[in-house]
A = this chain, B = another copy of it.
Amino acid sequence: MFSKTCEYAVRAVIFIAQQTKDGGKVGIRDIAKGIDSPEYFIAKILQELSRKGLLQSTKGPNGGFYLDKTAMKHSLADIVKAVDGDNIFLGCGLGLKQCSESHPCPIHHEFKKIRKQLAQMLEKAKVGTFTAELEVQTFLRR
């Protein structure tokens, strides 16, 4: 469904939201451990998300990653788009570039419904709602 990179990204953002809900920051090493991902790899991904404003970071002692108010309002769909692009929300299920409403592939209309529901679901899931004290330690690992 999503690339591995994208899965890590979503898990990391949820983790950061949970860990920094009362202010503060969380370091890359803790994030990697918290979501069971390769440290240097998730670091790259977060750099990218940071550049795109989907999360924030500061360097130096007491530095780390966190989410500002705007970032908290973003949805998981925004994360997915930032990492994997919007093909999963808009692209043809059979990979046909010319497939469209007026020129549909054999499963276009059925597929459209699924894609739409997926999009809506992920649009609705705002980062800020994942701050409940869930058992993150077990939930976001492997």
Contacts and interface: CB of A to CB of B under 8 A. Distances in A.
A11, A118, A141 — most chain B CB neighbours (10 Å): A118
Interface in A98-123: 98-99, 103-107, 110-111, 113-114, 117-118, 121
A69 interface: no
A125 B105 CA distance: 13
A76 to B, nearest CB: 7
Contact of A105 (B4, B96, B104, B139): B139
When all copies of this chain in the complex are counted, the total is: 2
Interface residues of A, number: 38
Contacts of A130: 106
A142 B86 CA distance: 18
Contacts of A118: 114
Interface of A: 1-2, 4, 7-8, 10-11, 14, 76, 88, 91, 93-99, 103-107, 110-111, 113-114, 117-118, 121, 125, 130, 134, 138-142
